[in-house]
Structure 1
Amino acid sequence: MKKILFLMATAVSSLGIAQANLDDLFAAGIDDAQRFTNDYLAPVSESVVYSISNGWYNSAKAKPLGGFEISIIGNITGFKNKDDKTSFVLNTAEYENLQFVDGETSKSVSTALGDIEGVRAFVEVEVAPGVTERQEFELPTGLLAEGLNFMPSGYLQGSVGLIKGLEVKARFLPKIDTDDVKIGLFGAGLQYDFTSSLPADKLLPVAISGVIGYTSLTGEYDFTDAGLFDGDRQIIDTKFSSWTFNAVASTRLPVINFYGGLGYVTGKSTTDVLGDYTVGVGPLSTTETDPFSISRNVSGVTANVGTKLKLGFFRLNVDYTLAEFNTLTAGINFGFR
């Protein structure tokens, strides 16, 4: 349950490895462990970057000076039918020591989003000079194996109008800090309503604006006490960041409005495996410190459409974004003007 809750909160699927034979992957060698981890986590990096890039706007009309809105925003980023994101082809020719038990040299295995079970691999571990021992293990599965086919994210967001046509935004997730898990999110954005500078602004049926937003999500999992390795300060530290640039249009009706936008998302994820890890058997064991770090860049075009209901100071909005990973976003908003 702890793994599922942490994945839902931070999307740091490194836990799938940390709790599923990370010691065996290290036994294959640092280079093999790093290569596998990179391919295993790649789709998670993409889905998280796209997920946290949503929710920056629910209208193209900027708030007037002093107008404000406080929002609770939730995103559900799905991957149920994305076979190319839930598995990858592992070719043992690209690995130094990792081999499949059944003798095959290439096959599809699960990513951190997937559900391919029962794939067994092995490495030959030297336990003494000239003496090797075969070590077999099962490769980890992912979120689909836990019954999850989406990646959730959520945060609080505030917006306030400044000079005519300009609105500033900020978002954050109240920090979660337990004995072994730390999570934090923050972001900032700007929206400029181009139609506000036109002479016939109030007569136009639509508003058009540009929106820029930056979001950072960090997650840390300390599994020192899990007893997987001899060593100290064993931590998986993951950081996600995203920039989004959007052109937005919306209607200007008093109660129910419709909005949509075209955008571009660019972001990056970095996962560091930190601490001291004693791997190997007997006199040939070695201690690795901060064994590896992996990073991935993500970018792509997005398009969304949504609707907003305004009832006095209370507002609701929902929209759907088409991208490499599609996302459903819903917001509960409280505002003035």
Structure 2
Amino acid sequence: MKKFFLLLSVLLGSIITTAQDGFSDILAAGVEAGERYSNSYMAPAGEALSFNLSSGWYDDARVLKPGKFKIQVKAHGTFAPDSKKNFLLDPAEYEAIIQDSYDNTNNPPANIEVSFGDGSTAPRSIATALGENAMEQQLIIRSREATSGILLQEDVINLPNGLGNEGLDLVPTAFLQAGVGLGAGLELKARLVPKITFEEAETSLYGVGLQWEFTKLLQPSDDSTLPIAASFLAGYTRLDASYDFEDGVVVDGANQSIETQISSLNLSAIVSTNYKVLNFYGGLNYYRGTTQTDLLGTYTFASNTVIFPIAATVEDPISVDTDINGFLGTAGVKLTLGAFNINADYTFGEYSTATASIFFRI
């Protein structure tokens, strides 16, 4: 189930992995510490998927003739830079966060200590949702009575791996994309993954785009052709995903779920050659992507932890947001064999994306 769901929504799948590998432990360290860790762990996955959904809107600067239709099966793979596969976790930073959270409770005065499982307190590179830990990593959180130094509580948090531990070195997506010629140099595009429900997981994707081939204005007649074509394109993609935990499996509580919304806007200037069989195309793209992931429901900690030594309940405790924008460059090739077409391209950026598709024109 995990690998299937990762293919549909890497971001949501990463959070599920966190839950399976000790999510309750991370949240039990306190909401503030849990949210800080979740942002460091999850943000690169949200960014990668935003880049992924911004890509693949075009395979030609030429648009379809009026009334013509095409349908494509597209596959994307987004590659993260090594710097996004790990983040530096400083135990002293988390010690200060957890100490502050503890001091704001009604618990007896205590001093908080945070170290890695091997006792080290030096900052260490830890896997994000896109990476992999070289070895099992743990955080040890201890509380000691403020006056005597007697150990009151010790919690062990198992830090999760990311996609690298699943054997994936990229963020994959796949969906259907269709286009129809409207005339006046315009082509309407749409992309879709119908709502899919698999066990407790649900995901859907939709998008709409409009491409305008403005070089048609430069043609002296409908029968003449220019050696190149140029166009503008605007495209918007939205992915919605959710996962309902079986209440009480992760932490005691009710209505426990994760919801993710990813939106991506792409504006492109495109040029391509204008031949019958083999063509090359490229584009300059402006993108804007936002991601919001929320951990919803109530979570009750009935057993002793450093922050929750007695029963306590938190509601909708964690939210992770990303907002990215910038420019990307795309270069690709397209082979046309009658109504059958194959294309492949590569989009260059902080997160680079390879795209391939096969499609038919009617």
TM-score bracket for the superposition, by shorter chain length? over 0.9
Secondary structure of the residue aligned to 2:183 is: coil
Asked if 1:321 corresponds to 2:347, the answer is yes
8 A contact 1:300–1:324 mirrored in 2: no
The corresponding residue for 1:220 is: 242
Secondary structure of the residue aligned to 2:199 is: coil
Secondary structure of the residue aligned to 2:59 is: coil
Partners of 2:254 and 2:140 lie apart in 1 by 26
8 A contact 1:239–1:271 mirrored in 2: yes
Partners of 2:219 and 2:170 lie apart in 1 by 46
The offset of 1:226, in angstroms, is: 7.0
Deviations for 1:131-184, whole angstroms, at most 9, x for unmatched residues?
832011321111111111111011111111113111111111122112300010
8 A contact 1:266–1:297 mirrored in 2: yes
Asked if 1:137 corresponds to 2:152, the answer is no
Give the one of 326, 329, 333 matched to 1:307.
333
Secondary structure of the residue aligned to 1:224 is: coil
Give the one of 109, 129, 137 matched to 1:112.
129
Partners of 1:265 and 1:223 lie apart in 2 by 33
Asked if 1:100 corresponds to 2:137, the answer is no
Secondary structure of the residue aligned to 1:203 is: coil
Determine what percentage of the aligned residue pairs are the same residue: 38
Asked if 1:159 corresponds to 2:179, the answer is yes
The offset of 1:225, in angstroms, is: 5.1
Partners of 2:122 and 2:297 lie apart in 1 by 33
The offset of 1:103, in angstroms, is: 3.1
- Correspondence 1:168-207 to 2 at 5 A: 168-200=188-220, 202-207=224-229
- Runs (4+) of structure 1 exceeding 4 A deviation are none
* Farther off after superposition, 115-124 or 312-321: 115-124
The offset of 1:114, in angstroms, is: 0.7
Counterpart of 1:32, as a letter, is A
The corresponding residue for 1:263 is: 285
Asked if 1:5 corresponds to 2:4, the answer is yes
The corresponding residue for 1:277 is: 299
Partners of 2:231 and 2:154 lie apart in 1 by 62
- How many matched pairs? 330
The offset of 1:293, in angstroms, is: 1.2
Secondary structure of the residue aligned to 1:274 is: strand
Partners of 1:294 and 1:115 lie apart in 2 by 20
8 A contact 2:247–2:255 mirrored in 1: no
Partners of 1:281 and 1:125 lie apart in 2 by 15
Deviations for 1:203-254, whole angstroms, at most 9, x for unmatched residues?
3100000111000111111122571211112111111110011110011101
Give the one of 209, 228, 241 matched to 2:263.
241
Secondary structure of the residue aligned to 1:121 is: strand
Unaligned runs of 5+ in 1: none
TM-score normalised over the length of structure 1? 0.93
8 A contact 1:165–1:193 mirrored in 2: yes
